[in-house]
Structure 1
């Protein structure tokens, strides 16, 4: 079927969405359906559903992966590449600007006060996001809940994401599934390759950044927030590139900018190694997302609904949700240090539960003002 639009039209659309698209992955994929399927009829309902299914099944941030698939539908690899870049580029440039301002003014009391409020609000936002993800993805499945709880406890105790536990969650669900009769050997090749450790000594920080963020990008299932516990374990605990407060500030930056939440890697890369660090971190994170979309796209119609693949991904998703829940407690333990920060966190949770239409950037701005006023006044 011939496209009813030109590639440049789709690129312009995703540039706009990447510039003003707030609300996180669920909202972004909703905008794509409304605009491209319902209003403009550029993408068929079937193609959209297949793209969404692939984005949920394969590792990669949901919204970014769906955008890449929609670019692939009519314009194949060149369309996937240009559309993916168009969607990610605006928020990447924004986090670069914020990163520059943050480094220049990071030592000023007002900047610290602003991020004091923002950090407390981010804890509340992640808590609500993990709650919604749990309800949507785990349902009433006791096995998935069990996997999530085990991984959450392990993440809280060790203060890092344990990759083999996440893979184990997928394998356990696959083995338990009565309908999963096929071994689906190819399913496990990609994740296990990421466990291979290199014997080469990586002396240069940029090489370390590239390898670390490549692995991070390959384990983001469903929501960009799934990358938070993995990043915390590597960036703060293992490599000690950032402190706890800087890491929370990086997550906050992702919340106040449009586009994919995973773009926080650009801010982290900038803090660690300047502009080159930001570019390498972003490229390395989104490369697996791109490959896991473009490479299986031609075969997805045939194999995407295989019971074994679905069972494995359900287990991995449950484990990823558990890691997010564990990260909420780890980060909360460090951020909520007094009554004021606790009140801001609780208020954030209440607002998000009671007022469904309030978007995260508004809460972040209000929290920043509260932090500035209260810290200055106190």
Structure 2
């Protein structure tokens, strides 16, 4: 899509879109990046295909939550720091308010027994949603390119086999396509290393910034998680478990499982579970510190290298590198569908829900996902007790 074919929009139109996506965008990072492509590139035509691919590449190379970083970069494309800041806040705020509200109910009533029933339906429905999103991204990004297909398949298989995503795979894929199609010129590596070297700095910004010892510990831990964990929600969950349950003993196993369930049944980024965890540890301010410490490093790691990406993004070497990283990233997202499905599809009912969701979205292109999610949640409340007693 050329710049001349793009439609103009105001920052507040983008804010309204990100608020809506943060409120109704179910399905985790795979679905959310698919929604952004469908809505902003295909339908509204606010963002060009090239800018979207650059944003995806940057989000995959930098640590932190994938969908939030892409939202921040897309805000940066036409409105720079103001757009990036507004888009990032608007995208994260709705789900943060939701998990704080759920956290308050959880603490007040001693757990959320109905959550398993809701997740039973929603988790299966989400598989159908993200499978369709991954399919659309695959067809748009890979096309008939044999080299990109090879990278895509290797990335998908490795994601399923290891149940995690590796930045080294993305970098290797980008460098391979760059080497085969653009030939190294000697300048690229130094630039990329300079960007990557900024990663550890962001992790230090929130360590010890509060006088309250517990909030300081929360801030330091979640800043580290936001600064050094790649692979978005897929990889950060086991990392959080190691720190929150095993190392610090802030939560027990049951509470942590509930925290992950909250992240999956609420819209927006999966990593917003850090807000829920923070609330269980230290109340409202624990939620605020945990969420800020998680998302501010990812904001910095998006906007700091963004000017370089905008300036050099059209260079043939960068285009080849972006193509390679995009193929690996989309392959990893497709693999993530299988990984998440293994956890969400537990019997014939959940399998039927997932297949039905994918079929409906394939047949009815304009069917709103939130409606499907609400129906799936209601079905879960009805069917889960029946399935557990049979």
State the TM-score, normalizing by the size of structure 2: 0.71
Please name the residue that 2:79 is paired with. 71
Counterparts of 2:257 and 2:152, CA distance in 1: 24
Please name the residue that 1:41 is paired with. none
Counterparts of 1:18 and 1:370, CA distance in 2: 28
Give the direction of change, closer, same or farther, for the CA distance of 1:284–1:323 in structure 2 (3 Å limit): farther
Please name the residue that 2:155 is paired with. 151
User: Post-superposition shift, 1:371?
Assistant: 0.7
Please name the residue that 2:63 is paired with. none
Please name the residue that 1:267 is paired with. 273
3-state DSSP of counterpart to 1:305: coil
User: Post-superposition shift, 1:307?
Assistant: 1.6
**Post-superposition CA distance 1:82-137 (Å, at most 9, x none):** 55434543443234334444565684443321121111111222222222111111
**Post-superposition CA distance 1:309-345 (Å, at most 9, x none):** 2222222222222222222222222221111111111
3-state DSSP of counterpart to 2:131: helix
Counterparts of 1:209 and 1:317, CA distance in 2: 28
Q: Are the aligned partners of 1:71 and 1:80 in contact in 2 as well (CA < 8 Å)?
A: yes
Matched, 1:62 2:79: no
Counterparts of 2:319 and 2:297, CA distance in 1: 20
Counterparts of 2:198 and 2:302, CA distance in 1: 18
State the TM-score, normalizing by the size of structure 1: 0.73
User: Post-superposition shift, 1:235?
Assistant: 3.6
Q: Are the aligned partners of 2:117 and 2:384 in contact in 1 as well (CA < 8 Å)?
A: yes
**Post-superposition CA distance 1:130-179 (Å, at most 9, x none):** 22111111111222222222222222222222332222222222222246
Matched, 1:116 2:116: no
Q: Are the aligned partners of 1:123 and 1:328 in contact in 2 as well (CA < 8 Å)?
A: yes
Give the direction of change, closer, same or farther, for the CA distance of 1:191–1:321 in structure 2 (3 Å limit): farther
Counterparts of 1:195 and 1:314, CA distance in 2: 26
User: Post-superposition shift, 1:360?
Assistant: 1.9
Matched, 1:227 2:232: yes
**Post-superposition CA distance 1:174-205 (Å, at most 9, x none):** 22224654541212433466589x9x9xx945
Give the direction of change, closer, same or farther, for the CA distance of 1:233–1:315 in structure 2 (3 Å limit): farther
Counterparts of 2:17 and 2:218, CA distance in 1: 33
3-state DSSP of counterpart to 2:157: helix
Question: 2:265 pairs with 243, 247, 252, which one?
Answer: 252
Give the direction of change, closer, same or farther, for the CA distance of 1:49–1:154 in structure 2 (3 Å limit): closer
Give the direction of change, closer, same or farther, for the CA distance of 1:293–1:351 in structure 2 (3 Å limit): same
Q: Are the aligned partners of 1:268 and 1:278 in contact in 2 as well (CA < 8 Å)?
A: yes
3-state DSSP of counterpart to 2:266: helix
Please name the residue that 1:187 is paired with. 192
- How many residue pairs are counted as aligned between the two chains? 342
Q: Are the aligned partners of 1:174 and 1:180 in contact in 2 as well (CA < 8 Å)?
A: yes
Matched, 1:372 2:381: yes
Give the direction of change, closer, same or farther, for the CA distance of 1:228–1:132 in structure 2 (3 Å limit): farther
Judge which range, 107-116 or 179-188, deviates more: 179-188
Q: Are the aligned partners of 2:124 and 2:353 in contact in 1 as well (CA < 8 Å)?
A: yes
Alignment of 1:33-182 (within 5 A): 52=52, 54-59=54-59, 61-72=69-80, 77=81, 80-82=84-86, 84-101=88-105, 107-178=111-182, 181=185
